[in-house]
């Protein structure tokens, strides 16, 4: 997937560096512009912890928490992180539903969801946005990295390839038709910004008002 998204990259690792680097820079730029220090980060839908590790590496002074509904994914994430050696701020792992995490209100500076929303019906997207708003401190940043429906590459896919992609993504049509920026504003966020962070994906950010 990464080589298709970044066709000019010389390797899969280089493609991953570009995709992850642009996403992380979008988070940092937005938060620096509208807030300041990043102390606590929540990664909702962390799966096996790839995005969580990236956040912890990028923001080493922050306390990072990975949250997922699957205890099996979390077990793999913990094992992979353990093999990576100790950190100044060890990653915390939480088994919970993203829409109703049970975590304290106003306890994070950044809430990130990476490649999560296209797996969800619109009602779940709305619930996730509301939960993120509850969890973020005033000035906090929500960061959503996912498929860009208006991407030229995606819009030019042949009907056969698009149908094949949808066959493994049952909520893709619903996601593409969702006005994500509008839904973020309805949840209470301001300073909503959407940038294409690679040819296939966008990062949408927003701020909880002070």
DSSP letters along the chain, please? -HHHHSTT-SSHHHHHHHHHHHHHHHHHHHHHHH-----EEEEET-TTSHHHHHHHHH-TTSEEEEEES-HHHHHHHHHHHHHT---SSPPEEEE-BTTB--PPTT-EEEEEEES-GGGS-HHHHHHHHHHHHHHEEEEEEEEEEEE-TT-HHHHTS-HHHHHHHHHT-TTHHHHHHS-HHHHHHHTT-EEEEEEEEETTEEEEEEE---
User: What span, in angstroms and rounded, lies between the C-alpha atoms of 185 and 164?
Assistant: 33
Question: Would the pLDDT of 54 be above 70?
Answer: yes
Secondary structure, 3-state, 79-103: HHHHHCCCCCCCCEEEECECCECCC
The answer to whether 184 and 129 are in contact (CB under 8 A) is: yes
Whole-number mean pLDDT of the chain?
A: 92
Q: Which residues, in sequence order, are CB contacts of 168 under 8 Å at separation 6+?
A: none
Give the confidence band of 161 by pLDDT, cuts at 50, 70, 90: confident
Residues 1-19: pLDDT tens digits? Answer: 565 666 665 576 666 676 7
Residue 171 is encoded by which pair of tokens? 């909520």
Query: What's the confidence (pLDDT) of residue 162?
Result: 73
Query: What's the confidence (pLDDT) of residue 82?
Result: 93
- What mean pLDDT do residues 168-185 have? 94
Query: What's the confidence (pLDDT) of residue 18?
Result: 67
Residues 12-48: pLDDT tens digits? Answer: 666 667 678 899 999 999 999 999 899 999 999 999 9
The answer to whether 173 and 183 are in contact (CB under 8 A) is: no
């Amino acid at each position: 997937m990464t080589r298709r998204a970044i066709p000019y990259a010389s390797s899969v690792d280089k493609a991953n560096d570009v995709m992850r680097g642009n996403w992380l820079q979008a988070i940092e730029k937005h938060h620096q512009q509208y807030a300041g220090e990043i102390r606590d980060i929540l990664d909702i839908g962390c799966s096996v912890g790839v995005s969580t590790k990236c956040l912890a590496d990028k923001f080493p002074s922050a306390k990072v928490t990975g949250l997922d509904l699957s205890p099996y994914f979390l077990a793999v994430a913990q094992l992979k992180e353990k093999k990576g050696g100790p950190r100044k701020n060890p990653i915390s792992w939480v088994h919970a539903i993203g829409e109703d995490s049970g975590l304290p209100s106003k306890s994070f500076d950044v809430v990130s969801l990476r490649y999560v929303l296209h797996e969800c019906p619109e009602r779940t997207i709305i619930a996730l946005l509301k939960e993120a708003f509850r969890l973020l401190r005033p000035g906090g940043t929500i960061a959503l990295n996912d498929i860009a429906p208006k991407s030229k590459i995606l819009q030019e896919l042949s009907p056969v390839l698009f149908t094949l992609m949808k066959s493994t993504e049952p909520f893709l049509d619903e996601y593409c038709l969702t006005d994500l920026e509008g839904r973020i504003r309805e949840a209470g966020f301001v300073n909503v910004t959407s940038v294409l962070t690679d040819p296939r994906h966008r990062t949408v950010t927003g701020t909880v008002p002070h």
